[in-house]
A = this chain, B = another copy of it.
Amino acid sequence: MADEALFQFLHNEVIQYVYKSAENGEMENGRCVSKLEHLGFRVGQGLIERFTKDTSRFKDELDVMKFICKDYWTSVFKKQIDNLRTNHQGIYVLQDNKFRLLTQLSSGKQYLEHAPKYLAFACGLVRGGLSNLGVRSIVTAEVSVMPACDIRIMIKQVN
């Protein structure tokens, strides 16, 4: 419990901090999301190294993705991804019906515009994790109804 709260409070404060820097003119507003995403990326790189140190080698991309949906997501967000879809051409959509970092916000439409702030770090976590498993990707997130969210992963093909 304690560590969960600790992470959530720190995460919230980091968001406030980054957006405050933008307000003070120390940074453009548009860079806030990418800054948060980058923080997530670095944390994700570290976490995945630790989480996979005893797992066997992954068979393929889908196997990696299943690991992200189950083990990785559960470790970080206390529940599995509810639904994983793919077009088998490098696009994956991970659906979380009750995303931990959004449950603290009201589920009305009122705060929907603030959702991206709370998703940027998570997108980075996924991208960083995948990156250290050798999968380069672009990760975005979308919220239509709080606190559900879709994480969309587009694999960058290495030629």
A-side residues, CB < 8 A to B, are 2-7, 9-14, 16-17, 21, 26-27, 35, 39, 42-43, 46-47, 50-51, 75-76
Contact = CB atoms under 8 A, between A and B. Distances in A.
Contacts of A42: 9, 13, 16
Contact of A47 (B6, B14, B75): B6
A50 to B, nearest CB: 6
Contacts of A7: 3, 6-7, 10
Given A11-B10, A21-B26, A27-B26, A5 B39 contact: no
Contacts of A17: 35, 39
Given A13-B42, A39-B10, A39-B17, A4 B3 contact: yes
Contacts of A4: 3
14 contacts: A2-B51, A2-B76, A3-B6, A6-B47, A6-B76, A9-B43, A9-B47, A10-B11, A14-B39, A16-B42, A17-B35, A17-B39, A21-B26, A26-B26
A56 to B, nearest CB: 19
A25 to B, nearest CB: 9
A75 B12 CA distance: 19
Contacts of A26: 21, 26-27
Nearest to A11: B10
Nearest to A41: B13
Contact of A10 (B21, B43, B50, B51): B43
A95 B3 CA distance: 22
